[in-house]
A and B are shown apart, each in its own frame.
Chain A
Amino acid sequence: MSSAELLVDDPLWLILVKVVGIFAFLVVMTLFMINWERKVVARMQQRPGPNRVGPNGWLQSLADGLKLAFKEDIRPVLADKWVYFLAPVISCIPAFVAFSVIPLGGEVSIFGESTALQLVDLPVGVLVVLACSSLGVYGIVLSGWASGSPYPLLGALRSAAQVISYEIAMGLSIVAVVMHSHSLSTAEIVDAQSTGWYFYLLPVSFIIYLISMVGETNRAPFDLPEAESELVGGFHTEYSSLKFALFFLAEYVNMVTVSALATTLFLGGWRFPFVGDDHVLNSGWFGLLWFVIKTLAFLFVFIWLRGTLPRLRYDQFMRLGWKFLVPIALVWFVAVAFARYLRQEVEASGGLETGTWLMLIGGFLAVVLLIAFLLPDKREPHDPNAVPVTGGGYPVPPLDLQVPKSPPRRQVPVAELPGDQTKEPAAVTAASQKEASDGRV
């Protein structure tokens, strides 16, 4: 039975249980993620990280959350009252709603009621996530505008441009998945991956999705809307107390959602690898375990990126999106469509043998290589007056720089000199020795 059929006859109490379950899952994941992130980043930077509150410091984010709730709620004088109040709410609600279409597991029975571990299965499930992420941006943009001060406004403008750009790349990367699975429904996409996960069947889509999901959630290295070094706190500079906590919550819930969607679209959802669908590892509540493990793997990538990469400059970031990701996604999607069409045609006309396929692919590669070799090399224009440049493109001293030789060490015949002349040559020798050793290093 498919997930949609299982979900249709859910009684009301079961739906409520699922809603509360998803909400609790997301909030707990947020608390866990904040702590985990701090600990992992600390480990990467060779320091202990939070270790005071609770066992091993694992309750630190809970304590921080309570502290935030009791802080003073400040509204700037120039703020737009209603929009300033609404913005954190707007950014929070879609983040939670988007998770409703994610299939967390296969068929299970809850209190004797057979159902699937998913709240709803819409025929347009993937679009729900996209729609929610595009609504969540309103929260960021409006918070920046309503704060009535320049830094948040700049952060909001950046965020608007960033999310629109990266949503295009994200949508295009999903198109190939939808073409392969013949459905926009998340449960059916997971079902379609029973024969093979899409991260190796559609590697280009997977990589583009990975990059754009970081851009979409405003996380490092793409966290330009809240770049601390440039914009103080970005869009949430003026927010405090629970309103700020809502932004925090929305950011982490969004991270969990895009990671869960990546799991669903590319890592086979709740399936365990290498075993068939009727294996015991793929039955019942085991699915939830595999799903959470895969999602945590993606979340770790988020933390890893934050611990490793410096923030991009804004123009480089936009160039990456529009001139690199979007064109590649377009070409890839046309190529996938063409390959599918070709396979359909060939299968209709009787099919080709594997040898013929290999010959065809080899011939195509040979033609590509031939063209690549025949193309003339691009000539670098040579400017005789140019400043000599080595390495990264900026004038730095050449590697074969001639360091002037230090004067040879003078042997001071101490014994033969009169007493008053020995002082100065000894000092010179010491200095020259130091210089020589500096030059060698």
Chain B
Amino acid sequence: MISSLLAQQPDAVERVVDTVTTGEAVSFWVLGPLALAGALGMLFARNAVHSALWLVLTMLSLGVLYMVQQAPFLGFVQIIVYTGAIMMLFLFVLMLVGRDSSDSVVEVLRGQRLAAVVIGVGFAGLVVASISRALTDVQPVGLAAQNTQNGGNVANIGEALFTDYLFPFELTSALLITAAVGAMVLAFTSRTGQDAKKTQRQLVEERFRGNRPGSLPGPGVFATANSVATPALLPDGSVASESLSELIETTAKERLEDDVAEVSGTGHDPDAHALKGESS
């Protein structure tokens, strides 16, 4: 849009709304490279979270460009919706996946590359066609006149959305709701039936019905030793069987030898690099 304005400066002099002011030009030449850098960074960043952050940079630059283009509502909605909600959900999922997980290079979809090339070329064709049309056929008008009529920018957008573009608007919201409901159906787990999680109340009642309402005895740590494998002793000196850890009791002795050695101080010496965080 702005490049078209810049290109057509000579014949647009008489229309005041279309002239590019110095501030506008400066903000374009600052934000344009930033947006481009963000897009490239997103493609080439190794880390998924870094990639997402580069994309955030692009979206923010675009949002500010909208504001400079006399569309403040669009600009702030871009920031709230895209950077605030959508990219935040992206980050949420990336963090759940974990910071060290990387993409698998095995292709699971057959013909993926071919399809990507075909669709990419098609998309590039669409973009080039629309940009070339915007640069040649369309006469830029600017929003200054529109923003002063009928209650300004926000009111005009609202009116257009709910009169001329009502059907596409409702269609889009139906699409989004379908996607949300689909996600919920996929993620739904039953609260009733066999594998339902017991509620806090059910657990308490179960415990009170059973033969031990209190908690199990802890291990004998600090009574005679500081190992969790130490059983607790009953007043008559016998071992309290509930205090034995199932995990430790079923583990083969050889697997615990290192731990035992470390606890008893007969293991290897501490690593000299341990505090510096270098792997030895």
Binding site for A on B (CB under 8 A): 47, 49-50, 53, 56, 72-73, 76-77, 79-80, 83-85, 88-89, 91-92, 95-96, 99, 147, 151-154, 201, 204-205, 208-209, 277
Q: Any chain B CB within 8 A of the CB of A137? A: yes
Query: How far apart sit A141 and B52, CA to CA, in the bound complex (Å)?
Result: 13
Q: Any chain B CB within 8 A of the CB of A27? A: no
Could you tell me if A161 and B204 are in contact, using CB atoms closer than 8 angstroms?
Answer: no
A39-54 interface code vs B (CB 8 A; 1 in, 0 out):
0000000000000000
Could you tell me if B205 and A145 are in contact, using CB atoms closer than 8 angstroms?
Answer: no
Could you tell me if B91 and A145 are in contact, using CB atoms closer than 8 angstroms?
Answer: yes
Q: Any chain B CB within 8 A of the CB of A131? A: yes
Could you tell me if A124 and B204 are in contact, using CB atoms closer than 8 angstroms?
Answer: no
Chain A 148-185 residues near chain B, CB threshold 8 A: 148, 153, 156-157, 160-161, 163-164, 167, 182, 184
A112-154 interface code vs B (CB 8 A; 1 in, 0 out):
0000000000111001101100110110011011001000010
Q: Any chain B CB within 8 A of the CB of A348? A: no
Could you tell me if B88 and A123 are in contact, using CB atoms closer than 8 angstroms?
Answer: no
Given A157-B96, A184-B154, also A131-B80 (CB < 8 A): yes
Could you tell me if B88 and A77 are in contact, using CB atoms closer than 8 angstroms?
Answer: no
Chain A 52-80 residues near chain B, CB threshold 8 A: 77, 80
Could you tell me if B84 and A131 are in contact, using CB atoms closer than 8 angstroms?
Answer: yes
The 5 A-B residue pairs with the shortest CB-CB distance in the complex, in nearest-first order: A134-B84, A77-B277, A127-B76, A131-B79, A160-B92
Could you tell me if B88 and A141 are in contact, using CB atoms closer than 8 angstroms?
Answer: yes
Q: Any chain B CB within 8 A of the CB of A393? A: yes
Query: How far apart sit A145 and B49, CA to CA, in the bound complex (Å)?
Result: 9
Query: How far apart sit A164 and B92, CA to CA, in the bound complex (Å)?
Result: 11
Could you tell me if B80 and A124 are in contact, using CB atoms closer than 8 angstroms?
Answer: no
Query: How far apart sit A122 and B151, CA to CA, in the bound complex (Å)?
Result: 14
Q: Any chain B CB within 8 A of the CB of A331? A: no
Quick one: which of A122, A127, A142 contacts B80, CB cutoff 8 A? A127
Given A123-B152, A164-B85, also A83-B53 (CB < 8 A): yes
How far, in Å, is B70 (CB) from chain A's closest CB? 10
Task: For A146, give the chain B residue with the smallest CB separation.
Answer: B49
List the B side residues contacting A80 at CB < 8 Å: 47, 49, 99
Could you tell me if B91 and A394 are in contact, using CB atoms closer than 8 angstroms?
Answer: no
6 contacts between A and B (CB under 8 A): A123-B72, A123-B152, A134-B80, A134-B83, A138-B88, A148-B99
Q: Any chain B CB within 8 A of the CB of A387? A: yes
Task: For B155, give the chain A residue with the smallest CB separation.
Answer: A182
List the A side residues contacting B205 at CB < 8 Å: 386-387, 395
List the A side residues contacting B96 at CB < 8 Å: 157
Query: How far apart sit A77 and B84, CA to CA, in the bound complex (Å)?
Result: 30
Query: How far apart sit A386 and B202, CA to CA, in the bound complex (Å)?
Result: 11
Task: For B50, give the chain A residue with the smallest CB separation.
Answer: A83
Query: How far apart sit A160 and B89, CA to CA, in the bound complex (Å)?
Result: 8
Could you tell me if B99 and A145 are in contact, using CB atoms closer than 8 angstroms?
Answer: yes
Could you tell me if B99 and A83 are in contact, using CB atoms closer than 8 angstroms?
Answer: no
Query: How far apart sit A370 and B226, CA to CA, in the bound complex (Å)?
Result: 69
Query: How far apart sit A22 and B39, CA to CA, in the bound complex (Å)?
Result: 35
How far, in Å, is A99 (CB) from chain B's closest CB? 16
How far, in Å, is A81 (CB) from chain B's closest CB? 11
Query: How far apart sit A80 and B48, CA to CA, in the bound complex (Å)?
Result: 13
Could you tell me if A135 and B79 are in contact, using CB atoms closer than 8 angstroms?
Answer: yes
Could you tell me if B92 and A161 are in contact, using CB atoms closer than 8 angstroms?
Answer: yes
List the A side residues contacting B73 at CB < 8 Å: 123-124, 127, 184
Quick one: which of A123, A163, A387 contacts B153, CB cutoff 8 A? A123
Query: How far apart sit A83 and B54, CA to CA, in the bound complex (Å)?
Result: 12
